[in-house]
Amino acid sequence: SDMTHYESHADASRKDHQAIEQILKRDPKGLFETVQKNGISMCGVNPVTVMLLCADPLGASRADL
């Protein structure tokens, strides 16, 4: 997924880290709210949110980057 579009490198990096932090915490609600609240133009936020919702029931125990 593209994380941020049309931002300066500094802004894109900050926004990327905000979204990635929620993904690594396996927090679907946190990811969705972070993207909305911070105006992150992440392509694929909905599929990633669904993936996070399914991860624990399917046996995921951690997230790696």
Degrees to nearest 5, angle at CA 53 with 12 and 39 = 25
Residue pLDDT, tens place only, 20-34 = 999 999 999 999 999
- How do residues 3-60 score in pLDDT, each as one tens digit? 777 889 999 999 999 999 999 999 999 999 999 999 999 989 999 999 999 999 999 9
Helix, strand, coil % in the chain, rounded to nearest 5? 55, 0, 45
**Angle (deg, nearest 10), helices 45-55 and 28-37:** 160
Distance CA 11, CA 23 (A): 19
Contact of 12 with 35, CB cutoff 8 Å:
no
